[in-house]
Amino acid sequence: MPPIFRDDRMPPVPRRWKAVYLAGINHPEKPAPVSMLEYVSQRDAHGHGTHTASTAAGSVIPGASVLGFSTGVAQGMVPVAHITVYKVCLFNGFYRSDIVAGMDDAIRDGVDVLSLSLGGFPIPFSEDSIAIGSLRATERSVTVVCAAGNNGPVPSSVANEAPWIITVGASTLDRRFPAFVRMGNGRALYGESMYPGNHYLKSGGKEPELVYESGGETVAQFCLKGSLSEARIRGKMVVCDRGVNGRAEKGEAVR
C-alpha cells in the first residue's frame, strides 16, 4: 500500500455506509500487452485512478519529492476522508451507461462527495452522462466535483460545466524544470524534465544519435511497451509521439 493511502488515525467508516467491495484480482481479464492491461476489479492498471484518488484524499506525506526536486508536503484535499473507487472506464474507453451506473451506485452506497476526473469537450446536458448523473446526485445532497478537462485555452473548451457541478481547472506552477537538447547543427531545443543528470558528461562527451521509430504494425512512434526494437534504439536518444499512452509509460518503454 503506498504511504499516500495509509489509514493511520482515520475515523471509523460511517454506519450508514452500504458499499460492497470486490476483492482485488491479481490477474488481468485476458492476456494482453502490458500497456493494455486491465483488471476485473477496482484495481488500477494504468495510474490515472490512483493519481486522482490521492489528489482527492491522500494522506499527509512530509518530505515528498520527485528525484529530489520540489521537496515538500504531499497530501490530498481531505486527508481524513474515506475513499471508495468505482471503475467506469477501461483502457479502450467507456460507455456512458457505465458512468451513470457508477454514479448511481455511489449515491446508493451513501457517499458525501463524488469526484470525477472524466470528460472532454462540452456537449449538450441532455447527452452528457456526467451532467445527468450529477443532477441526480445533487438532488440527494451529494456534492459533485469534476475536472474541467485538458483542452484549451480556446473558447468553449471547458468540460463538465453544468451549474450543479463544482468544476475545477488545473493550476499553474511558479517554477520551471528546464532541460536542453543541443542538436548537431548547434541548435538548442528547450523543454522541461525531472531528470537531473547530464547525458553529455556521463557519456564522456559522446553525442547520442537521435532515433524515431515509426511505421509497421507496432505503432512504435508512440513508444508503447513492447513496440520498440532494442537493437535499433540501444544507446540512442528516442523521440516518442504524444498520445495513446502516458508519458511516464513511454519513458519506461524506452528504458
DSSP characters over the chain: --GGG--TTPPPPPTT----PPPP--SBSS---GGG--BSSS--SSSHHHHHHHHHHPPPEEEEEETTEEEEEE--S-TT---------BTTB--HHHHHHHHHHHHHHT-SEEEE----S---GGG-HHHHHHHHHHHTT-EEEEE--S--SSTT---S--TTSEEEPPP--S---EEEEE-TTS-EEEEE-S----HHHHTTTPPPPEE----TTTTGGGT-TT-S-HHHHTTSEEP--SSSS-HHHHHHHH-
Predicted pLDDT at 233: 92
| Mean of pLDDT values over 73-87 | 91
What's the CA gap between 47 and 44, in Å, rounded?
6
Confidence of residue 53 (pLDDT cuts 50, 70, 90): very high
Quick one: average pLDDT of 177-196? 82
Mean pLDDT to the nearest integer, 173-187 = 81
Residue 126's pLDDT is what? 92
Output the CA angle 11-44-33, nearest 5 degrees: 165
pLDDT band at 23 (very low <50, low <70, confident <90, very high): low
pTM of this structure: 0.73
Bigger pLDDT: 114 or 183? 114
Looking at residue 162, its pLDDT comes to 95
- At residue 35, does pLDDT exceed 60? no
Calpha distance 108→133 (Å, rounded):
12
Percent of the chain whose pLDDT exceeds 90: 38
Please say if the pLDDT value at position 149 is more than 60.
yes
Phi, psi of 72 (to 5 degrees): 180, -160
What is the reported pLDDT for 89? 85
Rounded to whole angstroms, the Cα distance separating 115 from 147 reads: 8
Q: How confident is the model at residue 10 (pLDDT cuts 50, 70, 90)?
A: confident
pLDDT for the residue numbered 201: 61
CB contact burial 215-225 (16+ within 10 A = b; e otherwise): eeeebbbbbbb
Q: What is the mean pLDDT of residues 138-166?
A: 92
Name which residue leads in pLDDT, 49 or 202. 49
Give the pLDDT score at 28: 56
**Cβ within 8 Å of residue 227, ≥6 positions away:** 213, 218, 219, 220, 253
- How confident is the prediction for the chain on average, in pLDDT? 85
pLDDT at residue 209 greater than cutoff 70: yes
pLDDT, residue 200, reads 62
